[in-house]
Structure 1
């Protein structure tokens, strides 16, 4: 006979355990082993009063944010709903069955106040990184650096001409943060070029067409990773231009060294291959640059390029394909600075030698004599070129792709292809939380319960 569902009756007593209802292979159960927030209270203690009503537990809010970024829940309103309904989320947040989920507005109030004033999210990222180091997942042999554009919470249709400046009605928090970062080399002072458009909603976001399609407002998230297990050892938010990204790489490397992490080699793309950056790596920190040299000395008109001229280190001169010498100083006895504002030295051939040379049409057909520009940091550039010819460099090129895979994971799995918060501080908060979530997921993947970390 056909059964009929009976009416649900409320029991007087329940015996229910969240612990038994969270699967052993659940992501949050694997992550929970590495989340230790005991020190977070010490960072926040000075920002709470000793009297008054108890506040929402900051550890609860941090755990909820970890859930949101690990599971790709971008909206804090939706996050509160999911934590209220999902048993695994309740278990991870230590709420139990009867625990009350805080209102979504609580996150905004704490983010713009206590969390930023105490730099809590940076401390959270560093605490997880310390755990990665303790578990042996950071080797320190090779680091890779790269940046990726993340769309800002700003409409491209509502942008105003950059030459007209910030609109008078832009007085919100994002506008104040923009004005506060005008002298920061990672934002306003990164370049003197006026942006084509400015967003009144988020003026610090940079108008960029780097992706080749429609231009948009964006920030750059910069990652420095250890290539052994692709652990993020530092993260920084900057404006979306190359100069700021190179500066962020320097800052992240210096902070890593302050933590006792000294990489032997650094991998990156040609954006980090400028003469100044290579010299900074080689001469100041002794790091091997596994980076393509940023070089525009090649010619496309069929004439000789600088690579066709041999440089003599001992005599400090170039020899052309015809055998003539190009010197930095042509006059006898003349010495002194021959360096321009860009750090380039000029080596010139004699007009007499060039006029008599049969190769002049292939060398300097439109000039009386040939000249060669050489950077004062050319030694570091030569070292990078020599490394590029080794088999180790080919391995480094493959390993560098691990940072690109992290950016793909960031956008496709964690859903951070567009920012939800505005201003430089909002971008910084989101990037720190996302990097923390990625490191936690990596810990959970590489160190199953009851095992030791894997080895390379």
Structure 2
């Protein structure tokens, strides 16, 4: 007998969100870690919000929603609010009941800015690291460092002279809003030009064979035991940013005890190697023999087995960068201003850490996590 294509809804329905989420869903382990970390921020949240007045979006729900946006590659706040309305998995993770109203995207963005003002994402990152340390997942001795380019949310056409002396290029025979531009024979540099769309972005290219883009630099310090990010920061894109950021992140590590730092050839500079040794850190930097003046690393360092291990382990940072660029949308940020880009980068690295921790603690195969 053929079934009916009609749908008859019951007058009353009794259902819980918990019933719609499979018991072995990977988000369950992630949610447990997130809730444990958020519990450690209770005092911070009390200091951020007033004791009286109109209730705002709960910061715990706000942070969970921001993590959903990263974990499931939701491009914008408007799209995130739309998907929360009908996605029961998202509602369950965030803590919204089936019949709870979803926030307007502008309300969500406004409340997110409050977290930026009080560095809540940074504290959340620190709390996640505390949980990892509590579970004996962190190495205190062996680390790796690397950086990546984050394309800014600005076009080359917004990169104009700072003093306004250069008139806008209308192009040759172009029409419409998106006019053609011709920069042939016109030198452009960060000293004389600035983006009107995102003034914090800098014109930069990774190598001689690559095109220059408006970008930021994201930097990561990773411990080598579990491959977790212990420090992350965004800086202006320039030729010194990677090494300066690496030394600054080393300064955040607890003093005492021998430490090693694995890095690629871009860090093989005498000032960086000397800065590591001043901090009691052995620089396991890849030798750049083609560099003018030779490599700053010699056989006294490269002869040890620990050097070869560091050079192998440092490549695991690319897993965080790859995950962040394909899932977390840090290949090209949708935010403007270095503070917002830094918050987005830190949140993405925090999400990457949580996914990795959940995988380690649950023994789930790598391909099974979102």
Question: What TM-score comes out, normalization by structure 1 length?
Answer: 0.69
Closer/same/farther in 2, CA of residues 220 and 143 from structure 1, 3 Å limit: same
Q: For residue 275 of structure 1, what is the aligned residue in structure 2? A: 270
Alignment of 1:216-255 (within 5 A): 216-255=213-252
Q: For residue 396 of structure 1, what is the aligned residue in structure 2? A: 310
User: 1:27: Cα distance to partner?
Assistant: 2.7
User: 1:296: Cα distance to partner?
Assistant: 6.3
Question: Could you tell me how far apart the structure 1 residues matched to 2:359 and 2:20 are?
Answer: 21
User: Which residue of the other structure, out of 275, 283, 286, is the alignment partner of 1:289?
Assistant: 283
Q: For residue 155 of structure 1, what is the aligned residue in structure 2? A: 155
Q: For residue 446 of structure 1, what is the aligned residue in structure 2? A: 360
Question: Could you tell me how far apart the structure 2 residues matched to 1:297 and 1:436 are?
Answer: 35
Q: For residue 205 of structure 1, what is the aligned residue in structure 2? A: 201
CA RMSD across the alignment: 2.6
Structure 1 residue 432 corresponds to structure 2 residue 353: no
Whether the 8 Å contact between 2:143 and 2:222 is mirrored in structure 1 is yes
When Rg is computed on C-alpha atoms for both structures, the one with the higher figure is 1
Question: Could you tell me how far apart the structure 2 residues matched to 1:132 and 1:6 are?
Answer: 51
Structure 1 residue 131 corresponds to structure 2 residue 101: no
Whether the 8 Å contact between 2:154 and 2:197 is mirrored in structure 1 is yes
Deviations 1:276-332 (A, max 9, x none): 2211212x222111103566676xxxxxxx78xxxxxxxxxxxxxxxxxxxxxxxxx
Question: Could you tell me how far apart the structure 1 residues matched to 2:288 and 2:166 are?
Answer: 34
Question: Could you tell me how far apart the structure 2 residues matched to 1:166 and 1:292 are?
Answer: 44
Whether the 8 Å contact between 1:31 and 1:441 is mirrored in structure 2 is yes
Structure 2: any 5+ residue segments left out of the alignment? 168-188, 365-370
Count of residue pairs brought into register by the alignment? 340
Closer/same/farther in 2, CA of residues 166 and 117 from structure 1, 3 Å limit: farther
Deviations 1:104-140 (A, max 9, x none): 112321233x212211110011111111111111122
Give the secondary-structure state (helix, strand or coil) at the position aligned to 2:24: coil
Closer/same/farther in 2, CA of residues 118 and 157 from structure 1, 3 Å limit: same
Give the secondary-structure state (helix, strand or coil) at the position aligned to 2:253: helix
Structure 1 residue 43 corresponds to structure 2 residue 37: no
Q: For residue 24 of structure 2, what is the aligned residue in structure 1? A: 25
User: 1:55: Cα distance to partner?
Assistant: 1.4
Structure 1: any 5+ residue segments left out of the alignment? 168-192, 299-305, 308-377, 451-456
Give the secondary-structure state (helix, strand or coil) at the position aligned to 1:8: coil
Deviations 1:420-444 (A, max 9, x none): 1110111111011101100110111
Whether the 8 Å contact between 2:116 and 2:340 is mirrored in structure 1 is no
User: 1:247: Cα distance to partner?
Assistant: 1.4
Whether the 8 Å contact between 1:196 and 1:207 is mirrored in structure 2 is no
Question: Could you tell me how far apart the structure 1 residues matched to 2:137 and 2:345 are?
Answer: 21
Give the secondary-structure state (helix, strand or coil) at the position aligned to 2:220: strand
Alignment of 1:301-312 (within 5 A): none
Question: What TM-score comes out, normalization by structure 2 length?
Answer: 0.84
Deviations 1:196-231 (A, max 9, x none): 642111111111122533321111110000122110
User: 1:88: Cα distance to partner?
Assistant: 1.3
Whether the 8 Å contact between 1:219 and 1:240 is mirrored in structure 2 is yes
Q: For residue 82 of structure 2, what is the aligned residue in structure 1? A: 81
Question: Could you tell me how far apart the structure 2 residues matched to 1:25 and 1:199 are?
Answer: 48
User: 1:76: Cα distance to partner?
Assistant: 1.2
Closer/same/farther in 2, CA of residues 235 and 16 from structure 1, 3 Å limit: same
Alignment of 1:29-428 (within 5 A): 29-35=28-34, 36=36, 37-112=38-113, 114-161=114-161, 194-195=190-191, 197-210=193-206, 212-257=209-254, 264-282=259-277, 284-293=278-287, 381=296, 384-428=298-342
Question: Could you tell me how far apart the structure 1 residues matched to 2:61 and 2:363 are?
Answer: 24
Question: Could you tell me how far apart the structure 2 residues matched to 1:196 and 1:296 are?
Answer: 32
